[in-house]
Amino acid sequence: MARYLGKETTRVDGLAKVTGKAKYTAEFQIPNVAYGFIALSTVAKGRITAIDTRAAEQAGGVIRVFTHLNAGKLGPAPAAGAAPAWSWPLQSDRVFFNGQPIALVVAESYEQARYAARLVKATYETEPHNTDFSAVLARAQPDPATAQGAPRGNPVAAMQAAAVKIEAEYRIPIHHHNPIEPHAAIAFWQGDQLTIFDKTQEVFGVQKHLAESLGVPAENIRVVSPFVGGAFGASLKPNYYPSLTAMAARELKRPVKVVYTRTQMFTGHGYRPYTIQKIALGADRSGKLSSMIHEAFHNTSSFEAFSDSTTGFTRQVYACPHLHAPLKVAATDLATPTWMRAPGAVSGMFALECAMDELSYALKIDPMELRLVNYAETDPESGKPFSSKALRECYRLGAEKFGWKNRKAEPRSMRDGRLLVGWGMASSVWGAFQQPASARVTFRADGTAGVTSATSDIGPGTYTVMTMIAAEFLGLRLDQVHFELGDTRQPKAPAQGGSWTTSSVGSAVRGAALTIVAKLLDLANRDAASPLKDANAAEVEMLDGLLRRKSDPSRAVVIADVMRRTGTHEITETYDSTPSPERAKYASLAHGAQFVEVKVDPDLGTVKVTRVIEVTACGKILNPLASHSQEIGGVVWGIGMALEEATEIDHRYGRIMNANLQHYHVPVNADIHAIETIFVEEDDTIVNPLGVKGMGELGMVGIPAAIANAIFHATGKRVRDLPITPEKLM
Ligand code: MOS
């Protein structure tokens, strides 16, 4: 019986966070630090013909104004005529998007740097730009970096032969991540050694990037990032400011700190791309899908490739013999997109799950029944069995909790006073990913343990769950374990993304702890009188200072005695965890079902999401408290995506118009009503020994579709372009 795993556990770092003891990047105090402020381009495309920095240089406190004319070199020189990479700023006179960095002003204070940055005057030779993805859609090409797979069967012929078919086009605007903590870095050099505090989801990714940028060996670079105030994918790829900050610190031989403004958070990293999807579904009269054609198109930048894998999961969701799910991209004169909150999946499933709803009305079949008719018992793509799949139970339980059977099928048939009531549902899917990861555990004779891995905790509760895993397998209390993360001096871990941290890093922590159990058994059995003489490592466990036989706890040794007797003060083990080859025989996915109630004001077109039941099946839940919090957060982001979020661009200038939290709307407390999240646990011994599939991102997938479907049910209006704002319902 597990003592910690599966039990609600409050955050071990909670107190540090609420008392200010937890230090976020910009809060580190470095003596003699200088402050950098980034100046941005005001045109979308062209060349800087002149940049006048004289007034800025003469402003109070200014130390240096870096532009493409005097900045230190970053990265390899781009080939003639080619664009420098996004992450190497101030390396040429070229402007690729409005809001691109054109100068870094460094001063004695932040205010002085910010003021002087306004005095930098650039003159441009502009070129025609295009920031409107609709206008370049016809130019979209298959993304060479992403193999979307050949068509399955003959989808076109099967579509023509289908008894019932629907066809529709869906649009998702650009979204920005908008974590509360802005990007920040503080860099300082000691000789040829660089230390950089950076807000990041992957310290080793930043280290590698800076080694390439600065031309120094990776081992000379230490990246530190202990706390991250939200990221949502915005810090998965190295952004341009760490190399800029490190370059300035090297040139000035002085620590430099750079922090983005909220406005810079709209051009200083990527965004969810503008996405257009065309879907055709064909079925027989019983609802059985015979053909699915799901084409996705999204923008990238003119200077870098990016693929959101929009249709990646379409191939695995429903049993369907004929299918095509290609993805095409086209360049716009904007910054490069990046991954954001359930990337690809939430976009692809918005379109697919709305289309399934449309098909259900065409067939006059209940929307949930349609999903069950097309339930994939095995992976439709590979034909492999699922390592586990409790989606059917998610549908059943969600429908029961929601009261789905009381739904009247007809749109506009349910009311609450003058408000239109709509009930909608959708399915969700995410991967069950695992990456190679390492962790180090030091177990001390005093019964405490230090655990480290260079992962990140952007909010899901990684500090807590790693502490729980170590405490579980070392038989310690939570307060006897101290877990540290976010430093390239620690064992290597993947980026915190893809909902794979617990499966990846957790497996490494478990592995290191179990290796210590085995070491202690060896030490114990040096004593000829050891009561564990005939036991192997799998047959013993550590608990409350004892190493004991699982089958007979009375056969035990006192760990402190063993360590004293053998002169062992501490045992340190580093464990490298990799996904088990056994996984390849199976398909592994996390699934869910969402049920949503909306109330729509027929006079104003305003929508309230009054009730959400979300049921997910994602393997074993290690910390239900933090996990429910993750899924609730996913629902909230789904509400934002469905009803509020959109980055608006004035295409005449190629400039973002709502680069602030006043005009870029995210859900606030008043937008959020009843949300219940439920887990259907799966006992999956294939995915990894912890049985963890990963969750968090899954919680958002399906929510925008369920809301759009509920709105159709309430109003009879099918809105296919997000966000569903009041004017679209009038
Ligand atoms: Mo998430 S978009 O993998 O940080």
Cβ neighbourhood burial of 722 (10 Å; 0-12, 13-18, 19+):
buried
Relative orientation angle of helices 624-643 and 345-363, to the nearest 10 degrees: 70
Question: Contact, 709 vs 425, CB < 8 A?
Answer: yes
Which of 177, 339, 504 has the most ligand 1 atoms within 8 A of CB, as the residue to mutate? 339
Interior/surface letters 506-527, b for 16+ CB within 10 angstroms, e for the rest: bbbbbbbbbbbbebbbebbbee
Cα gap 209→196, rounded to integer Å = 12
In this structure, the residues whose C-beta lies within 6 A of any atom of ligand 1 are 201, 231-233, 236, 339-341, 343, 497-498
Q: How far out from the chain centre does Cα 691 lie?
A: 21
CA dihedral 632, 637, 642, 645 (to 10 degrees): 160
ipTM of the complex: 0.97
Nearest atom in ligand 1 to 236's CA:
4
- Against a cut of 0.95, is the pTM above it? yes
Q: Which amino acid is at 27?
A: E
Q: What would the two tokens of residue 475 be?
A: 């038989």
pLDDT score at 78: 60
Ligand 1 centroid distance, CA of 435 (Å)? 14
CA–CA distances in Å: residue 147 to residues 135, 325, 431, 595: 25, 11, 17, 33
Nearest CA to ligand 1 atom 3: 497
331 Cα to the center of ligand 1, angstroms: 23
Q: Catalytic residue numbers?
A: 697
User: Relative to the CA of 342, which ligand 1 atom is closest?
Assistant: 2
State how beta strands 289-301 and 322-324 pair: parallel
Kindly state the tokens that stand for 672.
């959020």
- Cβ pair 204, 491 in contact under 8 A: no
Which domains are seen in the chain, by residue range?
A: 25-128+178-266 (3.30.365.10), 275-433+584-729 (3.30.365.10), 435-578 (3.30.365.10)
Q: How far is the CA of 200 from the centre of ligand 1 (A)?
A: 12
**What is the position in ligand 1's atom list of the atom closest to the CA of 343?**
2
Among 199, 200, 235, 341, say which to mutate for ligand 1: greatest number of ligand atoms within 8 Å of CB: 341
Q: Are strands 540-543 and 546-549 parallel, antiparallel or unpaired?
A: antiparallel
Q: Is 34 exposed, middle or buried (0-12, 13-18, 19+ CB in 10 A)?
A: buried
Q: Which atom of ligand 1 is nearest to the CA of 232?
A: 4
Ligand 1 centre and the CA of 603: distance in Å?
A: 38
From 235, 236, 310, 430, mutation site for ligand 1 pocket: most ligand atoms within 8 A of C-beta: 236
Residues 6+ apart with CB under 8 A from 584: none
First CA to last CA distance, the chain: 57
Low-confidence ranges of the chain (pLDDT < 50): none
The pair phi, psi for residue 260, each rounded to 5°, is: -75, 150
Interval 635-693: pLDDT, tens: 999 999 999 999 999 999 999 999 999 999 999 999 999 999 999 999 999 999 999 99
Q: What pLDDT does residue 82 have? A: 61
Query: What's the 56 CA to ligand 1 centre distance in angstroms?
Result: 38
Atom 4 (ligand 1) nearest CA: 233
Ligand 1: atom nearest CA of 498 is 3
Q: Residue 118 has what pLDDT? A: 98
What local confidence, expressed as pLDDT, does residue 101 receive?
96
Neighbouring residues of 643: CB distance < 8 A, sequence distance ≥ 6: 607, 609, 667, 671, 707, 723, 724, 725
Q: Say how many Å lie between the CA of residue 679 and the centre of ligand 1.
A: 21
